[in-house]
């Protein structure tokens, strides 16, 4: 093993209190959501949206993301197991071979399912507050990649979603998995999502007066899931059945999001163009 590789042997558990495990993943997941909500509060203030609406959106969004991400993992990646153990889909426990249950935390969350859960939460928010759906999803999409960055850092702390073997000098040796130098795919995704967040924040400040019409949402979806699609090429498959696929499940699930994202971008640009033409003729 070359000295220039990063030797990664972080214990994912910070502390265990009376059988309840406190893990880096959970803290980063929640921390990313809290930071995203904080930045979103500043954006809502600029848009003159009442603070109470953000509280509603935050509550619906957190519930939607967690439930969607959990069900997404269970049904997309391990349906046969979880349909046979439905209680484990909704509770952070695992049935033991000798009987009884063990607290495990929610081990297995899928970003594709989390995105669906967030969209459902946004629909509920729209119904409850009568706020513009397009404007709301545009604003949320600005901070969404930041939350995704924190989640991937959590995956890194768990030594999961690892990359394929490589001899690149920045390779990680995930000692809790094997002693093979690998691409730190989680770190690649975290960096990509953080850069997308910075791009979206910049574009919001530059174009907010004319592009809150679905364009930001479409651009975020496209950038995030194109990045996800490409990085999947250097990841190990998460479940065995993917070995028979030309592209893996993460890539298959990314394609509809990319197409929807492109459609929203086109709609937003056309809508902005119509508004600009109307102003010129008045």
Condensed to tens digits (0 to 9), the pLDDT of residues 164-173 reads 999 999 999 9
pLDDT the model gives residue 103: 63
**Dist. CA 37–CA 143, nearest whole Å:** 8
Residue 187 pLDDT more than 90? Answer: yes
Name which of 88-102, 191-205, 257-271 the model is least confident about: 88-102
Residue 282 pLDDT more than 70? Answer: no
Please indicate, yes or no, if residue 219 is contained in any of the structural domains.
yes
pLDDT the model gives residue 107: 64
pLDDT the model gives residue 74: 80
Spell out the long-range contacts of 2-8 with Cβ–Cβ below 8 A and sequence spacing 24 or more: 2/169, 2/181, 4/169, 5/169, 5/171, 5/172, 5/173, 5/181, 6/170, 6/171, 6/172, 6/173, 6/184, 7/172, 7/173, 7/175, 8/156, 8/159, 8/172, 8/173, 8/174, 8/175, 8/176, 8/184
Tokens standing for residue 240: 């065995």
Please indicate, yes or no, if residue 215 is contained in any of the structural domains.
yes
Number of structural domains in the chain: 1
Name which residue leads in pLDDT, 178 or 72: 178
Please indicate, yes or no, if residue 226 is contained in any of the structural domains.
yes
Name which residue leads in pLDDT, 7 or 209: 7
Please indicate, yes or no, if residue 106 is contained in any of the structural domains.
yes
Q: Which domain holds residue 11?
A: 6-280
Please indicate, yes or no, if residue 150 is contained in any of the structural domains.
yes
Please indicate, yes or no, if residue 1 is contained in any of the structural domains.
no
Task: Look over the chain and give the mean of its residue pLDDT values, rounded to a whole number.
Answer: 86
pLDDT tens per residue across span 71-89: 877 887 778 877 877 777 7
What's the rounded mean pLDDT across residues 128-148?
93
Query: Tell me, what DSSP letter sits at residue 97?
Result: T
Q: Tokens 């809150």, residue? A: 212
Please indicate, yes or no, if residue 165 is contained in any of the structural domains.
yes
């Amino acid at each position: 093993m070359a000295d220039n590789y990063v030797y990664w042997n972080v214990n994912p558990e910070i502390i265990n209190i009376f059988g309840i495990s406190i893990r880096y993943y959970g803290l980063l997941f929640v921390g990313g959501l809290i930071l995203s909500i904080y930045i979103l509060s500043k954006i809502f203030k600029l848009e003159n949206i009442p603070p109470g609406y953000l509280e509603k959106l935050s509550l619906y969004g957190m519930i939607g993301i967690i439930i969607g991400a959990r069900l997404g993992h269970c049904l997309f990646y391990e349906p046969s197991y979880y349909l046979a153990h439905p209680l484990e889909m909704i509770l952070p426990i695992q049935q033991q071979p000798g009987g009884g249950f063990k607290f495990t935390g929610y081990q297995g969350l899928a970003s594709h399912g989390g995105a669906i859960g967030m969209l459902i939460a946004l629909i509920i928010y729209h119904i409850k507050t009568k706020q513009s759906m397009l404007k709301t999803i545009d604003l949320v999409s600005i901070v969404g990649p930041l939350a995704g960055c924190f989640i991937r850092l959590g995956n890194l702390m768990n030594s999961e979603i690892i990359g394929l073997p490589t001899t690149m000098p920045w390779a990680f040796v995930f000692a809790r998995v094997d002693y093979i130098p690998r691409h730190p795919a989680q770190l690649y995704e975290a960096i990509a999502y953080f850069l997308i967040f910075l791009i979206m924040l910049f574009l919001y400040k530059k174009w907010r007066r004319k592009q809150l019409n679905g364009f930001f949402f479409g651009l975020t979806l496209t950038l995030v899931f194109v990045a996800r699609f490409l990085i999947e090429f250097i990841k190990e498959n998460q479940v065995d059945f993917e070995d028979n696929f030309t592209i893996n499940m993460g890539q298959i699930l990314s394609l509809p999001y990319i197409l929807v994202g492109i459609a929203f971008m086109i709609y937003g640009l056309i809508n902005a163009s119509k508004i600009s033409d109307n102003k010129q003729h008045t």
